[in-house]
């Protein structure tokens, strides 16, 4: 971490093996970032409930004036927006909403968050962040969420093909920002 970032660091908390929080000094508002790794589709309902309960508790602890970013692997497919989700989803969510996607959408609705990488139009290769080892199956399961009031400050959100995280780190996810 460079000195400038170190000077901006206000708080850091590894909450659990699935959640971490960092708070940085910012202007006009401080920035709170929650990093997530949600349970997979086959996890028990209890495990999923525990994760979203812990995420909700952590989100509720963030100062209302902070610029909040919740980002990570949600193991969820949210699909495009519909009548009930227009305020939190864009038209460019990929796939069909699965059970984990419903959980993520409910979390976003409850916390007035926008799922940013569904609001920008890109070719599928820039939206599909996860690529299975078979090289065929691809999905949009990683997401960046911000508070609705900060939606207009988000200028872009997509994956980057040139940033290969697979061969170096063993990850089957592409870098997204």
* pLDDT tens-digit map of 86-138: 898 887 766 777 899 999 999 999 999 999 988 877 555 554 554 455 665 55
Q: Residues near 83 by Cβ (< 8 Å), separated by ≥ 6?
A: none
**3-class SS of residue 67:** strand
Residue 77: the pLDDT is 84
Put simply, whether the predicted model's pTM sits higher than 0.85 gets the answer: no
Triad 52, 159, 4: Cα angle to 5°: 80
Query: In which residue are the tokens 């206000």 written?
Result: 10
Q: Are 174 and 160 in contact (CB under 8 A)?
A: yes
Q: What CATH number belongs to 3-176?
A: 3.60.10.10
CA distance linking residue 67 with residue 2, whole number of Å: 22
Residue 145's closest CA among 171, 172, 107? 107
Element (DSSP H or E) covering residue 142: strand 142-147
Q: Tens of pLDDT along 136-168?
A: 555 667 889 999 988 777 666 655 565 454 445
Domain segments of the chain as ranges? 3-176
Residues comprising the chain, all counted: 177
């Amino acid at each position: 971490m460079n000195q400038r970032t170190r000077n901006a660091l206000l708080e850091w908390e590894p909450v659990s093996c699935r959640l971490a929080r960092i708070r940085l000094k910012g202007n006009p508002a401080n920035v709170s970032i929650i990093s997530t790794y949600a349970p997979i589709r086959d996890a028990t309902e209890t495990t999923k409930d525990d994760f979203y309960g812990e995420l909700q508790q952590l989100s509720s602890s963030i100062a209302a004036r902070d610029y909040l970013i919740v980002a990570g692997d949600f193991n969820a497919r949210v699909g495009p927006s519909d009548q009930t989700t227009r305020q939190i989803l864009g038209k460019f969510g990929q796939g069909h909403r699965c059970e984990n996607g419903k959980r993520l959408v409910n979390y976003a609705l409850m916390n007035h968050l926008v799922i940013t990488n569904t609001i920008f139009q890109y070719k599928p290769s820039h939206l599909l962040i996860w690529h299975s080892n078979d090289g065929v199956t691809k999905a949009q399961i990683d997401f960046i969420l911000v508070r609705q009031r900060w939606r207009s400050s988000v200028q872009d959100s997509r994956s980057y093909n040139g940033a290969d995280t697979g061969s170096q780190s063993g990850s089957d996810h592409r870098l997204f920002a």
